[in-house]
Amino acid sequence: MPDRIAPDALERWMQAVLEASGLEPAAAETVAVSLVDANRRAVDSHGVARVPTYSERLRAGLVNGRPRPRVERENGAVALVDGDRGPGQVAGVLATDHAIELARRHGVGVVSVHRSSHYGAAGYYAIRAARAGMLGISTTNSEPFVIPYGGIGRALGTNPIALAAPTPDGIFDVDMATSQVAVNKIFNARDEGRTIPDGWGVDEQGQPTTDPAQVHAAVPLGGYKGYALAVLVEVLSGALAGAGVGHTVGSLNEGGETQDVGHFHLVIDPDRLAGRARFAEALGGLLEALKAMPVAPGHDEVLVPGEPEARAKAERERDGIPLPPTLWTTLEALSGELAVSPPGR
Ligand SMILES: NC(=O)c1ccc[n+]([C@@H]2O[C@H](COP(=O)([O-])OP(=O)(O)OC[C@H]3O[C@@H](n4cnc5c(N)ncnc54)[C@H](O)[C@@H]3O)[C@@H](O)[C@H]2O)c1
């Protein structure tokens, strides 16, 4: 059984590690809170397992430790944000909040971000908009790691898409990579010495492999349709923002390059369309109808998107976040290097 840690203790620890890596306190808090939010929701691929990479990139000067993201251009409901080469979370939060503000004024807000870096879980930004009573959509591109359908080699990011909106009793969200799985699930398996299921990755020759150490590229979700969705995300997040696209997005995990990741944030005020209450009721009714469908053999129940994460969040906020022993050891070693005191296990 992995040891567990209280979410707020993990936030404080990760904030201290990021600060000691050169990120100023307010930005370090933003990044730590967003990563631990992913762990709270059991999206461990985009939680604190990413901190060693973030720390290395901050120390190497590849990510700006004193970022000043700003609205560079604005016209009506549309704005472009310069991420100032800082952590994607800092630009992503600023862009989402600005899109919410635009949606309050105009009914819709579209904010694109360029000159940014990895922003973590796309759902974090969509859910932030939903908490403000809006429908939020967020996409980002990422370093090329996914094969084009029918091809060999890395061409596209794992390019997630997230949507969230208020329901009568909470928030609905969908948050998914357009590759078969988020690539960090492959990296986490490699770091923890586990094999991966068939169909997640291919080697340099384009052959399927279950050994995460042999994975050269990830596979698009559901064949050519996931490939098409990944291209859609490059268009929205990269091309529209004037950020990198495909091969012009720098690598996060390999080599010393800056990224120029692009993010796309679309916020819509449902009050300007169906009306806030009617929209929430329609969405809530749809979710109820889905959950009431007969259960297929081999399944216990019908879940709706976002439900696994919501359940995990309730459990982890009560019992703590489980950290695999290898990750805990890595974070302790990093803390030692940076003269940060880790919490006891
Ligand atoms: N920043 C980046 O560059 C980047 C790139 C790729 C992915 N990501 C992030 O990685 C995270 C994980 O992505 P993923 O695709 O591996 O997620 P996933 O496959 O675990 O889940 C995808 C979606 O399916 C839903 N789901 C899961 N099981 C379900 C079930 N039984 N019934 C109904 N719905 C179900 C989930 O609630 C979720 O909305 C996301 O937060 C994503 O934003 C980030």
Write phi, then psi, for 111 (nearest 5 degrees): -130, 120
Cα(222)–Cα(320) distance, integer angstroms:
34
Which ranges constitute the DSSP H helices of the chain? 7-20, 25-40, 51-59, 88-106, 123-131, 183-191, 224-233, 276-291, 307-319, 325-337
3-state secondary structure of 63: coil
- Quick one: three-class SS letters along 146-203? ECCCCCCCCCECCCCEEEEEEECCEEEEEEECCECCCHHHHHHHHHCCCCCCCCCEEC
Candidates 40, 46, 63, 249: which one to mutate for ligand 1, based on the most atoms within 8 Å of Cβ? 46
Q: How far is the CA of 73 from the centre of ligand 1 (A)?
A: 32
In the structure encoding, which two tokens stand for residue 225, read together? 């349709």
Query: Which amino acid, 297?
Result: P
What pLDDT does 185 receive? Answer: 87
Q: How far is the CA of 236 from the centre of ligand 1 (A)?
A: 19
What pLDDT does 191 receive? Answer: 85
What pLDDT does 1 receive? Answer: 62
**Residues labelled as active-site residues:** 118
What pLDDT does 253 receive? Answer: 83
What pLDDT does 187 receive? Answer: 86
Positive or negative, the CA dihedral 141, 261, 235, 30 is positive
Please indicate, yes or no, whether the overall pTM of this predicted structure exceeds 0.85.
Answer: yes
Rounded to 10 degrees, the C-alpha dihedral 173/80/88/270 comes to: -10
Cα(230)–Cα(217) distance, integer angstroms:
14
Ligand 1 atom at shortest distance from the alpha carbon of 178? 15
Cα(343)–Cα(4) distance, integer angstroms:
11
List the chain pLDDT tens, one digit each, 345 residues: 679 999 999 999 999 999 999 999 999 999 999 999 999 999 999 999 999 999 999 999 999 999 999 999 999 999 999 999 999 999 999 999 999 999 999 999 999 999 999 999 999 999 999 999 999 999 999 999 999 999 999 999 999 999 999 999 999 999 999 999 888 889 889 988 999 999 999 999 999 999 999 999 999 999 999 999 999 999 999 999 999 999 999 999 887 889 999 999 999 999 999 999 999 999 999 999 999 999 999 999 999 999 999 999 999 999 999 999 999 999 999 999 999 999 987
Torsional class of 82: left (φ above 0), alpha (ψ -120 to 50), beta (otherwise): beta
Q: How far is the CA of 116 from the centre of ligand 1 (A)?
A: 22
